[in-house]
Amino acid sequence: MTVIAVASSELAETLRQHAGDTLQIVDISAVTSADDLSDAARQAEVLIPGFLAGTSVLDLIGSLPNLKLVQLMTAGAEVWVGKVPDGVTLTTSSGAHGGSTAEWAVGALLGVLHEFPGFVADQQAGHWNRHRTDELAGKRVLVIGAGDLGHNAQRRLTAFDATVTLAGRTARDGVVGIDQVPQLLPDQDVVILMIPLTDASKGLVDKDFLARMPDNAVLVNAARGQIVDTDALLAELNAKRLRAAIDVTDPEPLPDGHPLWSAPNLFITPHIAGAVPGAAARVLDVVLDNLARFADGRELRNVVTAERGY
């Protein structure tokens, strides 16, 4: 019998309802240290951390001698890359969050272009501030990230008559290479970030990157906060040269009094792009499929490797 240690009580209960007789689901959501692990949990071959799990679950790996697979509930794996022991496979739930994250990106972009946050403030103040706004139709949009999220965004943006360019790590059919981004930036009205946080992407959007974007362009970050240099972004926002919508920040969560809270031309949400009702079912589909593949010895989906990242 394959033992699965699950650090999410909700997912553990759901897996019990779907798992066959060959899987034993052990809920470790209340475990705070390795000393609290049950004998059954210590036999786990598969570890499923909770959504956006931190280092507390990571610290348990050394107490799981039979561990062979870490299956994440998120598409991002930055906390885990390089941290799993040799012989342990790391997989993500890529494909479960692409649609909702793309919806957030398009919705946030529309909100910025049509000045919805400003109109909400006017409504609260009882101020009838009629004026012309911007629009998405005809905009040139560069989506950095050509995986599930990027392609979901491309389909939705195209429906609004935007011209979309996808950029990925390497150039291929329909995708430009990341090395071409600097020369593309001056011609883009919008840049949307949908890439994982890696050594290569950390700090990618720095002072020089932002300086290449044209006046009044919009930066949308649906990826990870550390991909953007916060100080550089603040400088552009405070100068009112660029606009932005971000679902992620650096630091995160954003502390009280941080200058991003009061920066002009900025719309912020608290990392909720993937937090939608259908996400749990889609994650479950990915997890169950990989568990079946693991049990049958078949090739796993969404494997993370040091060589090719995601």
Q: Which residues does residue 172 pair with via DSSP β-bridges, in sequence order?
A: 175
Q: Which CATH number is 98-268 given?
A: 3.40.50.720
Residue 20 has pLDDT above 80, yes or no: no
Residue 52's pLDDT is 65
pLDDT tens-place string over residues 220-279: 999 999 999 999 999 999 999 999 999 999 999 999 999 999 999 999 999 999 889 898
Domain ranges, ordered by start, for the chain: 2-96+277-304, 98-268
Dihedral pair phi/psi, residue 72, rounded to 5°: -85, 155
Q: Work out the average pLDDT over 24-38.
A: 89
Instruction: Tell me if 52 sits within 8 A of 270, measured CB to CB.
Output: no
* Least confident window among 89-93, 158-162, 205-209: 89-93
pLDDT of residue 259: 98
Residues near 290 by beta carbon (within 8 Å), at least 6 away in sequence: 69, 71, 91, 300, 301, 302
pLDDT of residue 144: 98
In degrees rounded to 5, what are phi and psi of residue 142? -105, 115
- Residue of 71, 35, 8, 60 whose CA lies nearest to 26: 8
Beta pairing partners, 69: 46, 89
Query: Is-same-fold flag (2-96+277-304; 98-268)?
Result: yes
Give the separation between CA 182 and CA 30, rounded to whole angstroms: 47
Task: Count CB neighbours of 30 within 10 A.
Answer: 8
Phi first, then psi: what are they for 100, rounded to 5°? -70, -35
Determine the pLDDT at residue 309: 41
In CATH, the architecture of 2-96+277-304 is 3-Layer(aba) Sandwich (3.40)
Task: Give the pTM.
Answer: 0.86
